[in-house]
Homo-oligomer: A and B are copies of this chain.
Amino acid sequence: MRLSWDRILAKRVAAFRPCIRTDFSLLPAPPDTIHFTGGAPPVECLPVEPLAEELARAWRSEPTALWYGETEGYRPLREAIAARLARRGAVVDPDDILITQGAQQAIDLVARLLLEPGDRVLVEGPTYFGALQVFEPYAVRIEAVPLDEEGVQLERLEELLARQPRPKLFYTVPTFQNPAGVTMSLERRRAVVELAERYGVPIVEDDPYGDLWYETLPPPPLRAFSEDVLSLGSFSKTIAPGLRVGWLVAPRQLMKPLIDAKEAADIQSDRLLQRAIAAVITSPWYEEHLTAARRVYATRCRTLADALSRELGDLATWRLPGGGFFLWVTLQGDVDSAALLPHCAAAGVTYVPGSEFYPDHRPTPSFRLGFTTLSIEAMLVGAERLGRALRAALVEASGR
């Protein structure tokens, strides 16, 4: 007799889902389809050699790192992260940094620490879908605060912060936001931190793109303005997503429960890899690598924006980001980018529809284009396909 799993599973399982709801394998996309869906460094920016060398060195020089140890993370790596944050304006004690399996685990640990059924959670609208994926199984009410060109809208944020019960956290990607590309201005950062303190609501700052500016250093992380900000980052975007090494900066009094939670979750992160990354990011190579990567991303971003101006300048609007991986495109009129996606896929081009980035997954005329993993040639062809497919689909829709 088999067990009745439907009866046995916890209620939260009903809220489990992949971070992207759209199943791209079900779309009618031909084999040569150009996917603007990626959110990772391109293969030519993956620093295989220096990392592989440092890793080999770590294995040879410290085999006991193959044992248990350092649930909080390798101290020299935490020191190196603190030094990098200091250059961006946030002074952090290495003792307040926990090493995690990428920023994703940092979000997961924060949720474990804070969320209970019925809690209110504020996010930006749009926001990173992987955070929604973590929050949803906690049976919380997720509310989105809209963005403008300087970041989250203050009046709407205050309105939602002021309501009872107080939100358990405000999750924000203030710098080169995923997906909207917006960067919160310095003045807005100060105001947001001040509002959150006034209403006693923790800020969770997700900052994976802050080192990837194109021309101008972004304002300091929110953590620079308050020690109560939970600030998380990752080497997924600056080195490689396959590394699964990120960090969480937390208020001192939360470090013990966080380390206990990390131990319960997976005991520790890869200790040898942490040693290799510490060596790599403190070497002169890393700044050269970042400088080269920034140039690649700035060029691709500009190229894609220029191509979009030609191909769908009369159909859509977007803002040029100051860094990061994404262009957020908004079609004119009351259309649903998710409904248009199959038409585009059939024409050999895909994007992530905007509805993926809102907690209510409502239809939206926006979509996200990721430009880092595609060659210039692929982007030009992709933009042309996109313009043609969207034009045809919109004409067809308005004719019905």
Does A63 sit within 8 A of B, measured CB to CB? yes
Instruction: Tell me the dominant secondary structure on chain A's binding face.
Output: helix
Does A400 sit within 8 A of B, measured CB to CB? no
Does A240 sit within 8 A of B, measured CB to CB? yes
Assess whether B244 is in contact with A267, with CB atoms less than 8 Å apart. Answer: yes
Assess whether B68 is in contact with A10, with CB atoms less than 8 Å apart. Answer: no
Name the segment of A98-106, A309-317, A358-366 touching the other chain.
Answer: A98-106
**Chain B proximity of A210: nearest CB distance (Å):** 20
**Chain B proximity of A362: nearest CB distance (Å):** 22
Assess whether B67 is in contact with A264, with CB atoms less than 8 Å apart. Answer: no
**Chain B proximity of A236: nearest CB distance (Å):** 8
Assess whether A263 is in contact with B52, with CB atoms less than 8 Å apart. Answer: no
Assess whether A266 is in contact with B242, with CB atoms less than 8 Å apart. Answer: no
**Chain B proximity of A128: nearest CB distance (Å):** 12
Assess whether A104 is in contact with B267, with CB atoms less than 8 Å apart. Answer: yes
Q: Which of B3, B55, B134, B269 contacts A197 (CB 8 A)?
A: B3
Assess whether B242 is in contact with A272, with CB atoms less than 8 Å apart. Answer: yes
Assess whether A112 is in contact with B10, with CB atoms less than 8 Å apart. Answer: yes
Chain B CB within 10 A, most for which of A3, A48, A130, A241: A3
When distances are taken between beta carbons in the complex, the residues of chain B under 8 Å from A7 are 200
**Chain B proximity of A178: nearest CB distance (Å):** 14
Name the segment of A16-24, A26-34, A152-160 touching the other chain.
Answer: A16-24
Does A163 sit within 8 A of B, measured CB to CB? no
**Chain B proximity of A55: nearest CB distance (Å):** 7
Assess whether B197 is in contact with A264, with CB atoms less than 8 Å apart. Answer: no
**Chain B proximity of A251: nearest CB distance (Å):** 7
Does A11 sit within 8 A of B, measured CB to CB? yes
List residues of A whose CB falls within 8 A of some B CB: 1-5, 7-13, 16-19, 40, 43, 46, 48, 51-52, 55-56, 59-60, 63-69, 100-102, 104-105, 108, 112-116, 130, 133-134, 137, 168, 197-198, 200-202, 227-228, 240-244, 251, 253-254, 257, 259-261, 263-273
